[in-house]
Amino acid sequence: MRTATSLALCAALAGPPLLAGCGTGAAGGPEASAACASASPVADPAGRTWDNVTLLSRTCGASGPPVTEFEVTNTEKEALTFTLTFTLMNGFGEAMDTTTRTVESVRPGQTVRHALDTEDGPAAARGSRARIIKVRTVPADEAAAASGACPPSGIRVTADRGDAAMGLRVVGLHLLNCGPAAYAVDGYPGLQLLDEDREPVSGVRILHGTDTISSGIGGDATPRPVTLRPGESAYANLAWRNTTGAGEAVNAPYVRVTAKAGAAPVTVTPELDLGTTGRLGVGPWTKDDTTAR
pLDDT digits (tens, 9 = 90+) for 128-174: 577 888 899 999 999 998 888 999 999 999 999 888 777 899 999 99
Residue 227: per-residue pLDDT: 97
Kindly tell me if the per-residue pLDDT of 225 is higher than 70.
Answer: yes
- The pLDDT value recorded for residue 228 is 97
**pLDDT tens column, 238-288:** 999 998 877 889 999 999 999 999 999 999 999 999 999 999 999 999 999
Q: Which of 40, 63, 64, 44 is nearest to 52 (CA)?
A: 44
The lowest-confidence range among 11-20, 85-94, 147-156 is 11-20
Q: At residue 229, does pLDDT exceed 50?
A: yes
- Domain 155-287, what architecture? Sandwich (2.60)
Q: What share of the chain in percent tops pLDDT 90?
A: 47
Give the model's pLDDT for residue 117: 65
Every domain of the chain with CATH number 2.60.40 lies at 155-287
- The answer, yes or no, to whether residue 57 has pLDDT greater than 60, is yes
**What distance in Å separates the CA atoms of residue 104 and residue 108, rounded to the nearest whole number?**
12
* Top-ranked range on mean pLDDT: pick from 34-48, 92-106, 132-146: 132-146
Q: Is the pLDDT of residue 226 over 80?
A: yes
> 289 pLDDT band (50/70/90 cuts)?
confident
Q: Has residue 18 got a pLDDT over 50? A: no
> Please, what is the average pLDDT of the chain?
80
| pLDDT value for 36 | 66
Confidence of residue 112 (pLDDT cuts 50, 70, 90): confident
